[in-house]
Each structure stands twice: as C-alpha cells, then as structure tokens.
Structure 1
Amino acid sequence: MDWNRVEGNWKQFKGSAKEKWGKLTDDDLNVIEGRRDQLEGKLQQRYGFAKDQIRKDVDDWFRTLK
C-alpha cells in the first residue's frame, strides 16, 4: 500500500491514527486529511518530538495499516 491510499481513505484511517496518537484532536485529524506532511507537523506540535523520530513513528504506524 502506498500513502495515496491513506489520503484517499483518510476517514477509515483517522480512527487508527487517533488511537496511536491520542493528543491529536478531531479538528487536527480533519485538517490533516491524510496528508503525511500535515500529520508529521501536527505530531511534532503536539508531542514535541524531533522530525526524524516523528517520521519513524509514522512509518511504523503506516506499516501496520491494511
């Protein structure tokens, strides 16, 4: 699966994202709309992790999606 499928099916995946990153609000998830750069930016803002750590976390989460 590629990231375009996440963008196209964001409504299905945003519940999984909220489970993994509980600090993301529904408004955050609506703004993100499946865009990876937006997701990484919001995660940095909410959790304060370094960009490379966020990228790894998103990659790990992405691999668990079906």
Structure 2
Amino acid sequence: MDWNRVEGNWKQAKGKIKEQWGKLTDDDLDQIAGKRDQLEGKIQERYGIERDRIRRDIDDWTGRQTW
C-alpha cells in the first residue's frame, strides 16, 4: 500500500497507528493529519528512534495493511 492510501483513510489509519505506536496521542495524530514526515517526527520524538529506522518501520507497517 502506498502512503496516499493511508492519507485518504486517515481516520481509519489513526487507530491502527495507535496500535503500532501506542505512545502517540489522539492530539498527535490530529496534528499529523496524514502527513508522513510529521508522523516520522512524532515517532522519533516519542520513542527516540533514528529517522532511518522509523522510515523502515513505517514502510513495513504500511505493507502489512489491507484496507
């Protein structure tokens, strides 16, 4: 799945994102509003993970989604 699909289904994606990255709040997800770069930044802020790993993790996560 590509990121455009995640953006288009953001309301549905928010719940799945919270399952994967539980430290993100509803306010975080509302601010992100489907923007991948902002999601990467929030995950980095909350988890202290390097950006390259976050990108891979998000790619893996989107690949597992079946909407």
- Matched residue count: 66
CA-CA distance at 1:8 after TM superposition: 1.2
Q: Equivalents in 1 of 2:2, 2:52: separation in Å? A: 20
1:44 alignment partner in structure 2: 44
Aligned letter for 2:21?
A: W
% identity of equivalent residues:
68
1:12 alignment partner in structure 2: 12
SS of the counterpart of 1:49?
coil
1:65 alignment partner in structure 2: 65
Unaligned runs of 5+ in 1: none
**RMSD (Å), alpha carbons:** 0.7
After TM superposition, the score normalised by the length of structure 2 is: 0.93
* 4+ long deviations beyond 4 Å: none
SS of the counterpart of 2:6?
helix
CA-CA distance at 1:2 after TM superposition: 1.8
Unaligned runs of 5+ in 2: none
